[in-house]
Structure 1
Amino acid sequence: MKKYLILLFAAAGFIFGGCEYFENSDTRSISQLEVNLSGLPAIPDTMTFVGWFDNDDGDPVKAFTLDADANGNLVYSTTSEPLQHLQNAQIFNVTIERKAVLNDSDFVPSGRLILSGRFKLGNASLAFAETVNNFSAYSDSAVFNLSTPTDGPNTNELSGVWFVDSLNLPAGPIAGLYLPALLSGWIYEGWVEVGGVFLSTGRFISASSPDNFSGYSGSGAKYNYPGEDFLNNPPAGVTFPLDLSNAKVYVSIELDNGEDSGQAPSYKIFEATIPSGAQSGVTYPLQLSSPNLPGGVVKITVDLLE
């Protein structure tokens, strides 16, 4: 007698929930494996997305290699996935890999992890979703200030954005962002938008340390937190210094490609509009955005033989 077990893994944000492998020695084959992912980032033509069955103690097994479409969607299905992969799997990952190494004998997942989830036992139809980075828990403490520390005090103060709080404390400012650690392969980035042009304040892993970019700042000492003064080397169409009144401020999540800054935000998690008549030394709040983060569904239909 055949029974059909459908294991459904649903994704929200960066993680889709999974299913602990079931224990049934009479199980023989997988009827169908279906993968539907959306919101994937644009990547170079030399790279692609790879799905993996994984576990805590063994080696990962490649499930698929496929490019996403122009809208960031990826659809994959097969009717011949070996059951051994599911029996041993505790985790399902999606990574970004270089196409040049896909056929190497020692090919293993890189650190560019996009989606990951743990399998959880279920029968019939099981849906489990887990969001690793619940940024709503951090939105109440997300703030920024306008200041330009790298050109001295009281000079062009409305031409810099720093993610700090309490700018006027005798001991100096404190962190204006408290953020969770991101999955491997991702990094935070700050932005201002002026006249439709995005200006990066730099990429950072920790909101309690400086970011990786100082391309627009002056020669003076900067705050020990993420931010940027917009004083030098303006891009085309922008004139420095700025008056950032009415400009927009963002914090985003970006694919970490080793660059110190990007061209435009990918996944905005916090945002704010600087008011008209803005002032330096005033702490302005950031609001939670609603980014279309990567996500997806993996559906595995299994034949159980008794």
Structure 2
Amino acid sequence: MKKVLLGVLTMASIVFSSCSDDENTSVSQENLNLSISGLEDLGPDYVYEGWIMVDGSPVTTGTFTVDASGNLSQTSFPVYADQLALATAFVLSIEPAVDPDPAPAATKLLAGNFSGNSATVSSSNLVGDYNDASGKYILATPTDMDDTNEASGVWFLDNSGASPVAGLSLPTLPDGWKYEGWVVLNGTPVSTGTFTSVSAADDNAATSPYKGDTNNGPAYPGEDYVMGSAAGISFPLDLRGNATVVISVEPYPDNSAAPFTLKPLAGSVPMNAEVHTVQDLSAGPVLAISGSVLR
């Protein structure tokens, strides 16, 4: 991941103290202008909030929402001129709509340093750089004893060697984010579960409503769709030629049951895929969100 200046890098690991408006002696204000595409509607419970770094501390620039078409509810924000002149970086976070905490949440999405009067901001600076991400998976249903439905499960592991190894190569996420696997059936995504480690079981390994009753499966992210139903389809089913496998990056706490905008890996399940045999994922549709900030 490319490095950014200290003021941005330390935002994920230090405790913040927000600057109060009462501390400002100047009433002169200037506008901070955002030009960001690719943001999604967070629903009624969450908003985006901008921050400028001033003397190592975050100062809010205000909150906004995004509609279903990706349009920001507000793109120009009045900020105290003296603080804006001293700002070294801009950060965008995801916050509860009703937020008792004046400091930024852990879920920080975009960041960038000011160079003169502008800053180029990107999710790659905070969430992860996915240009080198890669993924493999197998079709299998290890949570039941039925060997006739092996094409109804997806496990993110590589079993081509002497012993299975992690099938995903992804950056370690900062606080406030998790990965989530999906199979897309008839245009509807169905989760395989959330995870933070590519070499451990995902969060719903023991509680999934779709898995079999023999065990929880291997110690890697994945899912058996061997019982129940979702997306109007009853399980088990043959995923070959009928599903797309996706890895997304999700805010935590999560704002939606659907995949978030960032989707670094994806791939259609081949019609001729053999069960228990490694299949490759390709670069996903959205590796990063970026934009610019002007003061």
TM-score, normalised to structure 2's length? Answer: 0.78
Instruction: Return the offset for 1:292.
Output: 7.2
The reply on whether 1:148 has 2:128 as its aligned counterpart is: no
Which of 212, 217, 228 is the matching residue for 2:223? 228
> What is the alpha-carbon distance in structure 2 between the residues aligned to residue 165 and residue 19 of structure 1?
37
Structure 1 gaps, min length 5: 1-13, 21-28, 301-306
1:135 counterpart letter in structure 2: Y
Aligned partner of 1:47 in structure 2 is 46
Task: Report whether the alignment pairs 1:178 with 2:177.
Answer: no
Deviation for aligned residue 1:126: 6.3
Note if 1:295 corresponds to 2:286: no
Distance in 1 (alpha carbons) for counterparts of 2:175 and 2:96: 16
Q: How far, CA to CA, are the matches of 2:182 and 2:249 in structure 1?
A: 11
Counterparts of 1:236-255 in structure 2 under 5 Å? 237-246=232-241, 247-255=243-251
Structure ranking higher on relative contact order (CA contacts 8 Å, 6+ apart): 1
C-alpha separation in 1, matches of 2:137 and 2:217: 15
Match of residue 279 from structure 2:
284
Distance 1:179 1:59, change over 3 A: same
**Partners of 2:121 and 2:40 in 1: how far apart?**
21
How many angstroms does 1:161 deviate by?
A: 0.3
Please, what is the CA RMSD of the aligned residues?
3.2
2:209 matched to 1:215? yes
Cα distance change on mapping 1:86 and 1:153 into 2, 3 Å: farther
| SS of alignment partner, residue 282 of structure 1 | coil
Q: How far is the alpha carbon of 1:154 from its aligned partner?
A: 3.1
Secondary structure at 2:233 match in 1: coil
**Counterpart for residue 10 of structure 1:** none
Instruction: Give the C-alpha shift of residue 152 in structure 1.
Output: 3.1
Against the structure 1 CA distance between its residues 42 and 186, is the aligned structure 2 distance closer, same or farther, given a 3 Å change threshold? farther
**Aligned-pair distance for 1:76?**
2.2
| Matching residue of 1:257 | 253
Partner letter of residue 212 of structure 1? D
- The answer (yes or no) to whether the contact 2:61–2:77 under 8 Å persists in 1 is no
Q: Percent identity?
A: 35
Task: Name the structure 1 match of 2:133.
Answer: 138
8 Å Cα contact 1:144/1:284 also seen in 2: yes
Q: Is the 8 A contact 2:40 2:67 kept in 1?
A: no
Unaligned runs of 5+ in 2: 8-27
Q: 2:270 aligns with which of 269, 275, 278?
A: 275
Measured after TM superposition, the shift of residue 264 of structure 1 is: 4.5
- Secondary structure of 1:83's aligned partner: helix
Bigger CA radius of gyration: 1
Could you say which residue in structure 2 is the equivalent of 1:194? Answer: 185
Assess, with a 3 A threshold, how the Cα gap between structure 1 residues 184 and 211 changes in structure 2: closer, same or farther.
same
- Aligned mates of 2:136, 2:240 — CA distance in 1: 16
Partners in 2 of 1:113 and 1:45 — Cα distance?
19
Partner of residue 95, structure 2: 97
